[in-house]
Copies of this chain bind each other. A is one copy, B any other.
Amino acid sequence: MSTDNAARERLVVIGGDAAGMSAASGARRLRGPDELEIVAFERGDFTSYSACGIPYWVGGQVGGPDELIARSPEEHRERDIDLRMRTEVVKIDVEGRRVRARELDGGAETWVAYDKLVIATGARPLRPDLPGMDAPGVHGVQTLGDGQELLGTLRATEGRKAVVVGAGYIGVEMAEALLHRGYEVTVVNRGAEPMSTLDPDMGRLVHEAMAGMGITLVDDAEVTKILTGDDGRVRAVATQEADHPADIVVLGLGVRPETTLARDAGLPLGDSGGLLTDLGMRVRGHDNIWAGGDCVEVLDLVSGRERHIALGTHANKHGQVIGANVGGGYATFPGVVGTAVSKVCDLEIARTGLREKDALRAGLQFVSVTVESTSRAGYYPGAALMTVKMIAERRTGKLLGMQIVGREGAAKRVDVAAVALTAGMTVEQMTALDLGYAPPFSPVWDPVLVAARKATSAVRAAAG
């Protein structure tokens, strides 16, 4: 044992956001300070915050940054967690069971021994290596610090031209935020349609709806450089085709697992660079190391493959599972089905499971159907159209995925498919689901049931 007291173990946590601090708190609930010392390192200025809330802070719908912080460093310390802020772990010595920590202010470095280690280093935003990318006025939206900097630029340029690079979740949410701030918004997108997490036909609906909100979408466009003015500030975003004037540029190109430390330490990484863990979030082959949150890969229960999905709800679940296991309890994280919901102004977007191209890649034969229905009984005020796409395995009729684009009341209907995917249901079984019905909440056939009926017919026709 490397601690002073042979009966007392030390847990070291790298990363002070959702996964890391949930793990620390969970372990603390199970084991008091007499049994377990907890040391946590966070290189930034904040702990346990909702990065998913940043677009709404930037858009002005929510205050910040305090409102986005679930638990402050002080609150963690009150729970007997030795939290060291603005301190970066620069090396993991797996053999020696210790980490090397550097204080960002002053640069002092020390080795800290651990009995158990939790790696929760999160993700880093993709930032293409292009000319002008570091110019003032070009912003990421990954951390609360990013949000603060972006708001500073907004105050200086409000109501002018904004270009968002990328049309995934962060991209479309930032388009909404900038629209709220009075900007003329252009979204430059590499794909054929926005929201590449949807099939292109559903992405097309998002394109059309966003265009209807006054957002300019430039699809099939590769950014070649950021053009700057005489003052060095961003002036435009250049693609092969055109220059798109910009007083502010927001990058929403997605993220990759931040696993430099883990890689250097020889820990097992998957194809997308995320840490590989077992069902209990223990790093494979390492009894005393756990990992969770945006730095790990998760098992996709539909495709059977490991994937990287950066999402706060997974990070919190990982942290809870790790906390239980580190604390001597038992919990598991079986995997995901790939559920995600988002919105752009009043447009709701949801997906779960496989897209057509995922099914093709997995070598599956499938049918896919698309239906239109409404969020409430057609005659009830506020009934809003939604489009539901459902994909089922051709031979078995098993649900493979579902996507929804609609207005109020559309997105969370995806949860029905998320549970059905988890349970391995067929679309025919889904037609009989006893979903809540009353005119203010659903047509007499819920849109998910309408889609399941059409998918069932398609499966039967394909078999016939």
| Interface flags, A431-446, vs B, CB<8A=1, else 0 | 1111111111110111
Contact (Cβ within 8 A) A438 B338: no
With contacts A53-B380, A416-B419, A425-B423 taken as known, whether A437 is within 8 angstroms of B338 at the C-beta atoms is no
Q: Identify the closest chain B residue to A404 (Cβ).
A: B436
Inside 8 A of A153's CB, which chain B residues have their CB? none
Contact (Cβ within 8 A) A411 B379: no
With contacts A312-B444, A313-B444, A316-B445 taken as known, whether A379 is within 8 angstroms of B437 at the C-beta atoms is no
Interface assignment of A350: CB less than 8 Å from any CB of chain B: yes
Q: How many copies does the complex hold?
A: 2
Contact (Cβ within 8 A) A338 B379: no
A146 to chain B, nearest CB (A): 17
Interface assignment of A18: CB less than 8 Å from any CB of chain B: yes
With contacts A380-B56, A444-B18 taken as known, whether A435 is within 8 angstroms of B423 at the C-beta atoms is no
Contact (Cβ within 8 A) B67 A379: yes
Inside 8 A of A314's CB, which chain B residues have their CB? 434
Interface size on A, residues (CB 8 A): 67
Contact (Cβ within 8 A) B433 A342: no
A255 to chain B, nearest CB (A): 16
Contact (Cβ within 8 A) A50 B379: yes
Inside 8 A of A423's CB, which chain B residues have their CB? 419-420, 422-423, 425
Contact (Cβ within 8 A) A436 B317: no
Q: Identify the closest chain B residue to A298 (Cβ).
A: B434
Contact (Cβ within 8 A) A442 B412: yes
| Interface flags, A165-197, vs B, CB<8A=1, else 0 | 000010000000000000000000000000000
Contact (Cβ within 8 A) B63 A435: no
Contact (Cβ within 8 A) B311 A437: yes
Contact (Cβ within 8 A) B56 A312: no
Bound CA span A61–B383, Å:
12
| Interface flags, A326-360, vs B, CB<8A=1, else 0 | 00000011111111111100001010100000000
With contacts A332-B432, A419-B420, A423-B423 taken as known, whether A439 is within 8 angstroms of B337 at the C-beta atoms is no
- 25 A/B residue pairs, CB under 8 Å, sorted by A: A50-B377, A50-B379, A52-B437, A52-B439, A53-B379, A56-B440, A67-B379, A169-B438, A313-B435, A313-B437, A313-B442, A314-B434, A334-B429, A339-B437, A343-B440, A411-B441, A415-B433, A418-B434, A418-B435, A418-B436, A419-B420, A419-B433, A422-B425, A422-B434, A423-B425
